[in-house]
Amino acid sequence: MKVNGYAASKAKAPLAPFQFERREPREKDVVIEILYCGVCHSDIHQARDEWGGGLFPMVPGHEIVGKVIQTGPKVTHFKVGQNVGVGCLVDSCRACTSCHENLEQYCENGFVGTYNGIERDGKTPTFGGYSSHIVVDEAFVLSIPTNLDLSKTAPLLCAGITTYSPLKHWKVKSGMKVGVIGLGGLGHMAVKIAAAMGAEVILFTTSKNKKEDALKMGAKTVVISSDKEEMKKQTGLLDLIINTVSAQILLTDYLSLLKREGTMVMLGVSPDSLNLESHALIMKRRNLAGSLIGGLKETQEMLDFCAKHNITSDIELIPIQKINEAFDKAVKSQVKYRFVIEMNSLKIKD
Ligand code: NAP
Ligand code: ZN
Ligand code: ZN
């Protein structure tokens, strides 16, 4: 089927209208009409080829919410008309230990990314959610709880699960102090979810104008990271730090805020290498860890958790024609707190 979307024709090229083919649905495929797609900072890193190895033309987008318009004959979980989501993965080997443990994101044979990836046939490139339709095996499709607003739910498919997964893995609960660095797409979800899990949340931001919002989202304390005195007050107090910053920052300053044996989890994927002094880890047996999105089972669990706690993303809805402007604003931390593309806008003639 012919599909309209927006693509970067080569690294750093502005996104522009692009027509391409989606496969005919296989037995277990679901055909989804895309209604909304969030704009993740990973879309920008990849469309600008900041991590290297990008496949072009590239149709970004992995925070997809839409409606099922067709199902293959062996689809059992989804029906035409149902609202569904697709996140960062559209396939994995389904045979390795990680896949068997519902950790498809760590598939030992490599997961298939929703875009900038290659299908398991070894040759077909994947194209993401900045497009009118997508065809996905039902094993990689999520159900959207009925009480959630669809446009505000799109960012949960990446920003939501990427922050929920480490908060769960490090067993965040009431009585714990969780630091979040950066109030962007991931950061604002981390604040909301950690607060809903019962933690006391301390937000670290470079943007003074985000303070009030962070407090409303559930942070108990907001520290402007350039304020050395305020930073120092947190020394040795935090159980866990979720680092969502998309650029490299001096980690030593933040590691010293952890308690003995506390952990900092790296979520941001800066193109530059880590910047830290090892004594900050050694002196208090602290840990530095990383975490990658989440598996399908956990993503469904996160959606159900958000539905129960009435958590969605704070968004700015844009037509697809504004995507290049949105990329530039996101890089300058000028989005509150996630751009979401209204996909109906694809029908507008430029
Ligand atoms: P985003 O919306 O742009 O948010 C990043 C935030 O980091 C900004 O809002 C800003 O917060 C802060 N920041 C940006 N530049 C900074 C700098 N130079 N110094 C200090 N702080 C800075 O991005 P996002 O979509 O949340 O993504 C964040 C990162 O996570 C990206 O690198 C993305 O690729 C990565 N990511 C990783 C995973 C994973 O599985 N691990 C999944 C999705 C995304 P303040 O204004 O509050 O300071
Ligand atoms: Zn993402
Ligand atoms: Zn696998």
Task: Identify the CATH number of the domain in which residue 113 sits.
Answer: 3.90.180.10
Whether residue 219 sits in one domain with residue 277 = yes
Q: Check residue 145 and report its DSSP letter.
A: P
CATH assignment at residue 263: 3.40.50.720
Whether residue 171 sits in one domain with residue 142 = no
CA of 183 to the centre of ligand 1 (A): 8
Pocket test for ligand 1, best of 244, 264, 334, 340 (most atoms within 8 A of CB): 244
Distance CA(327)–CA(204), nearest Å, equals 23
The whole-number pLDDT of residue 190 equals: 98
Residue 132, Cβ density class (10 Å: 0-12 exposed, 13-18 middle, ≥19 buried)? buried
Q: How many CA atoms lie within 13 A of 299 on its CB side?
A: 31
Write down the H helix ranges in 157-233: 159-169, 185-196, 211-217, 228-232
Whether residue 219 sits in one domain with residue 329 = no
CA of 160 to the centre of ligand 2 (A): 9
Closest C-alpha to ligand 1, atom 11: 182
* Residue 301 included in any domain: no
CA of 158 to the centre of ligand 2 (A): 5
Q: Which residues pair with 7 in a beta bridge?
A: 16
Lining residues, ligand 1, CB within 6 Å:
40-42, 45, 158-159, 162, 182-187, 205-207, 210, 244-247, 249, 267-269, 291-293, 330, 333
CA of 108 to the centre of ligand 3 (A): 5
Give the residue numbers spanning the domain of 130: 2-156+314-347
Domain count, the chain: 2
Q: Nearest ligand, CA of residue 45?
A: 1
CA of 328 to the centre of ligand 1 (A): 13
* Residue 295 included in any domain: no
Residue 230, Cβ density class (10 Å: 0-12 exposed, 13-18 middle, ≥19 buried)? middle
Q: Nearest ligand, CA of residue 87?
A: 2
Whether residue 222 sits in one domain with residue 188 = yes
Interhelix angle 159-169/296-309, nearest 10 degrees = 100
Whether residue 149 sits in one domain with residue 38 = yes
Whether residue 172 sits in one domain with residue 126 = no
**Do residues 155 and 315 make contact, with C-beta atoms less than 8 angstroms apart?**
yes
How far does Cα 277 stand from its chain's mean position? Answer: 29
CA of 290 to the centre of ligand 1 (A): 14
The whole-model pTM stands at 0.98
Whether residue 187 sits in one domain with residue 138 = no
**Final residue of a structural domain among 254, 275, 290:** 290
**Do residues 133 and 3 make contact, with C-beta atoms less than 8 angstroms apart?**
yes
Q: How many CB atoms lie within 10 A of CB 313?
A: 24
**Do residues 264 and 244 make contact, with C-beta atoms less than 8 angstroms apart?**
no
Among 250, 50, 104, which Cα is nearest to 264's? 250
Whether residue 8 sits in one domain with residue 148 = yes
Closest C-alpha to ligand 1, atom 25: 41
Pocket test for ligand 1, best of 39, 41, 217, 328 (most atoms within 8 A of CB): 41
Whether residue 186 sits in one domain with residue 150 = no
287's tokens: 């840990």
* Residue 84 included in any domain: yes
The tens-digit pLDDT sequence of the chain (350 residues) is: 999 999 999 999 999 999 999 999 999 999 999 999 999 999 999 999 999 999 999 999 999 999 999 999 999 999 999 999 999 999 999 999 999 999 999 999 999 999 999 999 999 999 999 999 999 999 999 999 999 999 999 999 999 999 999 999 999 999 999 999 999 999 999 999 999 999 999 999 999 999 999 999 999 999 999 999 999 999 999 999 999 999 989 999 999 999 999 999 999 998 888 878 899 999 999 999 999 999 999 999 999 999 999 999 999 999 999 999 999 999 999 999 999 999 999 998 75
Whether residue 140 sits in one domain with residue 7 = yes
* Residue 9 included in any domain: yes
Whether residue 13 sits in one domain with residue 46 = yes
* Residue 309 included in any domain: no
Q: Concatenated DSSP letters for 263-300?
A: EEEE----SSPP---THHHHTTT-EEEE-----HHHHH
* Residue 308 included in any domain: no
* Residue 306 included in any domain: no
Plot region of 193 (φ>0 → left; ψ -120 to 50 → alpha; else → beta) = alpha
Whether residue 152 sits in one domain with residue 6 = yes
